[in-house]
Amino acid sequence: MRSLNSVPRFLPLCALALIFVAATSLGVGSCQSQPGTVGTGVCLQCHDGRSAIDQRSQLESKHRNVACEDCHGPGYAHVRNGGRGGLLIANPRDLPFDQSYDLCNRCHTANVAGYVQSKHATEKGARCIDCHDVHRINGFTVATANNAHHLDNDATQDLCGRCHQPQEADFLQSTHAQLEVASCTSCHNLHKANTFQANPLNNDICLQCHASFQLGFTSDAVTQAHVGAQHPLNPAGNGSGRCVACHLPPVQVAGQPNVTHHHNLVTVPPSASNTAIQAGISPVPPNSCSGIMGCHDVSVPGSGTPYDVTSVADNTFLQSVHDTIGLTP
Ligand code: HEC
Ligand code: HEC
Ligand code: HEC
Ligand code: HEC
Ligand code: HEC
Ligand code: HEC
Ligand code: HEC
Ligand code: HEC
């Protein structure tokens, strides 16, 4: 460990600093000119990986123009103590969940405003700092190839897959992942209340890409032909013409809509439920046509012609209908 001798001497003014340090919380604005600050250069004399954790990458990150002490508060007392035990310096990681975003909110109000309404906040699921590391070049808690400044698809999937393993495993099998044409953040925005990039109810979430000429969903008429006349496009209605209803059905009958949804983005054919029945799996998992709340589900009256997902005959009939839907637009 380095001694304090290697640290430049401070102005006498800094003697006053201890009082300020005690009174300072993370809520303070820019500390640059405040007594008790030592400057980023001093912090990095120790935080270079030899005597303390290496944070030099901060100088190449998006936060390179933000001083260490803008976020950590004045560091004089910490430095004077030789950094020992990591004492006398604020670490935002120690804040309770509900205050964990106050620091970020000083400069990123729009991101915080959406985030606080999302389940990551309301269910105490993930803090900003669970996904973001402000000291790293890419700004994230996961590594990217070649120290890129942004997340690539693999890194995104690693990040989300830490907590959403089923969705990641399923998505990795999809054509979208294999062709590297989409990743979690193509559809999910972590800083919006509903966590979506675009509206799933009017199909915009898929039409962001699938409305383009090459993919073919160029008009409502084309989409209507794809989903079949029995599934009218009606965003405000029961959603029978919604891409997500057929292409991301829930994996189990109970607990909809809060359970995991299939993420390989192809439909689950009714024959898959029959395969499960034959294998003795109970309860029988839903498919894209039956066993889905609001679709052809015996448990919800009026939700389309009811079929029973536990009936081999019903599933066999629905499979024949399924085969007539989803024609290439
Ligand atoms: C004299 C060396 C030294 C200097 C200068 C120094 N630190 Fe440290 N710091 C340490 C050591 C040693 C630790 C504890 C070991 C570790 O975590 O690497 C530490 C820990 C920390 C921690 C973690 C606290 C915790 O929760 O345990 C933060 C945050 C921190 N330093 C920020 C700063 C900032 C900001 C500056 C500049 C104002 C700074 N340090 C300057 C040596 C130093
Ligand atoms: C934009 C705000 C911000 C800036 C600028 C910043 N930090 Fe941090 N720092 C944080 C937050 C938030 C945490 C807690 C979460 C984390 O570890 O990423 C933290 C944690 C730390 C830790 C503890 C790491 C650990 O693993 O326990 C150290 C040490 C540290 N910072 C040092 C520095 C140094 C040195 C600088 C300047 C080169 C700096 N920080 C710049 C916000 C900041
Ligand atoms: C003192 C102001 C300040 C604070 C506090 C702050 N940031 Fe930033 N942040 C910035 C600035 C400035 C940029 C660079 C913006 C740019 O390059 O367009 C930035 C950029 C970012 C970026 C990358 C943006 C991009 O364009 O790729 C992320 C992610 C980010 N901040 C997250 C956080 C998080 C999380 C926190 C809280 C732990 C935080 N910031 C706290 C000022 C701040
Ligand atoms: C540190 C753990 C953690 C990480 C990392 C994480 N999440 Fe979450 N996420 C949660 C928890 C916990 C919930 C809330 C409980 C639930 O709905 O299952 C949640 C909920 C969600 C929801 C449901 C939101 C809603 O309104 O229904 C989506 C979508 C989501 N996360 C997407 C992502 C994506 C995309 C990533 C990667 C960028 C990610 N999450 C990273 C823990 C995490
Ligand atoms: C569950 C993971 C996750 C959480 C929680 C999260 N972010 Fe992000 N954030 C991301 C991802 C992934 C991106 C990359 C943007 C993209 O590709 O859509 C990003 C991008 C950003 C950016 C740069 C782009 C932009 O939207 O301006 C900022 C700034 C940012 N986040 C700040 C925050 C702040 C502040 C918080 C907490 C209130 C937070 N983030 C919470 C994952 C997360
Ligand atoms: C970021 C762009 C993007 C988004 C968003 C997107 N897709 Fe795709 N999708 C593509 C591309 C590109 C292909 C490959 C087309 C090709 O093979 O020519 C594709 C292929 C597909 C395929 C055929 C793949 C297969 O395995 O048979 C289906 C089904 C599909 N997408 C459904 C969806 C659904 C449903 C949504 C919305 C929930 C969606 N996509 C959102 C870009 C996207
Ligand atoms: C009523 C159910 C249903 C709806 C609603 C639906 N699809 Fe499909 N879709 C299917 C079926 C069934 C298939 C053929 C089997 C498969 O690929 O999963 C299919 C296939 C596809 C394919 C692959 C086509 C090919 O030739 O390989 C794409 C792309 C696709 N759908 C996108 C969408 C988009 C985008 C939406 C919303 C605008 C949508 N689907 C709405 C049932 C539906
Ligand atoms: C093509 C668009 C798309 C992509 C790509 C995508 N998702 Fe989703 N995701 C959705 C939709 C739509 C829902 C909501 C399904 C519903 O409730 O009907 C959802 C729901 C979720 C949920 C809430 C729980 C659930 O399963 O319903 C989580 C968590 C989640 N996604 C994580 C991820 C992760 C992690 C990735 C990347 C590995 C990812 N998503 C990629 C469209 C997408």
Q: What is the mean pLDDT of residues 96-121?
A: 98
Least confident segment among 18-27, 181-190, 290-299: 18-27
The alpha carbon of 223 and the centre of ligand 4 are apart by a number of angstroms equal to: 30
Name the CA dihedral angle for 319, 261, 259, 237, rounded to a multiple of 10 degrees.
Answer: -70
pLDDT at 104: 98
Q: Which residues contact 317 (CB under 8 A, 6 or more apart)?
A: 307
Contact residues of ligand 6, CB 6 A cut-off? 175-176, 179, 181-182, 186-187, 205-206, 208-210, 215, 243-244, 247, 265-266
d(CA 124, CA 33) in angstroms, rounded, equals 35
Name the CA dihedral angle for 287, 289, 292, 295, rounded to a multiple of 10 degrees.
Answer: 180
pLDDT at 300: 59
Evaluate: CB of 111 within 6 angstroms of ligand 5: yes
Length of the chain: 329
The alpha carbon of 105 and the centre of ligand 2 are apart by a number of angstroms equal to: 16
Evaluate: CB of 160 within 6 angstroms of ligand 4: yes
In-domain check, residue 234:
yes
pLDDT at 254: 83
In-domain check, residue 202:
yes
d(CA 248, CA 262) in angstroms, rounded, equals 5
Evaluate: CB of 70 within 6 angstroms of ligand 2: yes
Tell whether 204 and 263 lie within a shared domain. yes
Contact 8, 48 (CB under 8 A): no
Domain count, the chain: 3
The alpha carbon of 314 and the centre of ligand 4 are apart by a number of angstroms equal to: 35
Tell whether 311 and 206 lie within a shared domain. yes
> Which of 78, 84, 135 for a ligand 1 pocket mutation test, highest count of atoms within 8 Å of Cβ?
78
CA distances from 261 to 93, 208, 267, 288 (A): 32, 20, 11, 11
Choosing from 90, 106, 121, the residue where a domain stops is: 90
Dump pLDDT digits (tens) for 165-207: 999 999 999 999 999 999 999 999 999 999 999 999 999 999 9
Tell whether 217 and 325 lie within a shared domain. yes
Q: In the predicted model, is pLDDT for residue 162 greater than 50? A: yes
Backbone φ and ψ for 192, nearest 5 degrees, come out as -120, 150
In-domain check, residue 189:
no
In-domain check, residue 218:
yes
Tell whether 106 and 123 lie within a shared domain. yes
Better pLDDT: 118 or 326: 118
Tell whether 278 and 228 lie within a shared domain. yes
Q: Considering the chain, what is the average pLDDT of its residues? A: 87
Q: What is the mean pLDDT of residues 154-172?
A: 98
Q: In the predicted model, is pLDDT for residue 43 greater than 90? A: yes
Choosing from 52, 69, 90, the residue where a domain stops is: 90
Q: Which residues contact 33 (CB under 8 A, 6 or more apart)?
A: none
Q: What is the mean pLDDT of residues 20-35?
A: 43
d(CA 108, CA 55) in angstroms, rounded, equals 22
The alpha carbon of 191 and the centre of ligand 5 are apart by a number of angstroms equal to: 6
Backbone φ and ψ for 154, nearest 5 degrees, come out as -60, -45
pLDDT at 292: 87
Dump pLDDT digits (tens) for 90-101: 999 999 999 999
Tell whether 110 and 33 lie within a shared domain. no
Evaluate: CB of 226 within 6 angstroms of ligand 7: yes
Tell whether 70 and 110 lie within a shared domain. no
Q: How far is CA 44 from the centre of its chain?
A: 31
Tell whether 223 and 323 lie within a shared domain. yes
Domain that holds residue 313: 198-329
Q: What is the mean pLDDT of residues 130-152?
A: 94
The alpha carbon of 139 and the centre of ligand 3 are apart by a number of angstroms equal to: 8
The band of 12, judged by pLDDT with boundaries at 50, 70 and 90, is very low
In-domain check, residue 268:
yes
Dump pLDDT digits (tens) for 224-259: 999 988 888 887 777 788 999 999 999 998 888 789
In-domain check, residue 294:
yes
Q: In the predicted model, is pLDDT for residue 61 greater than 90? A: yes
> Which of 188, 251, 256 for a ligand 8 pocket mutation test, highest count of atoms within 8 Å of Cβ?
188
**What global pTM score does this model have?**
0.93
Tell whether 226 and 300 lie within a shared domain. yes
Tell whether 130 and 248 lie within a shared domain. no
Least confident segment among 46-50, 147-151, 173-177, 189-193: 147-151
Tell whether 211 and 307 lie within a shared domain. yes
- Which DSSP letter does residue 8 get? P
In-domain check, residue 111:
yes
> Which of 173, 175, 217 for a ligand 6 pocket mutation test, highest count of atoms within 8 Å of Cβ?
175
Q: Which ligand has the shortest distance to the CA of 162? A: 4
Tell whether 206 and 111 lie within a shared domain. no
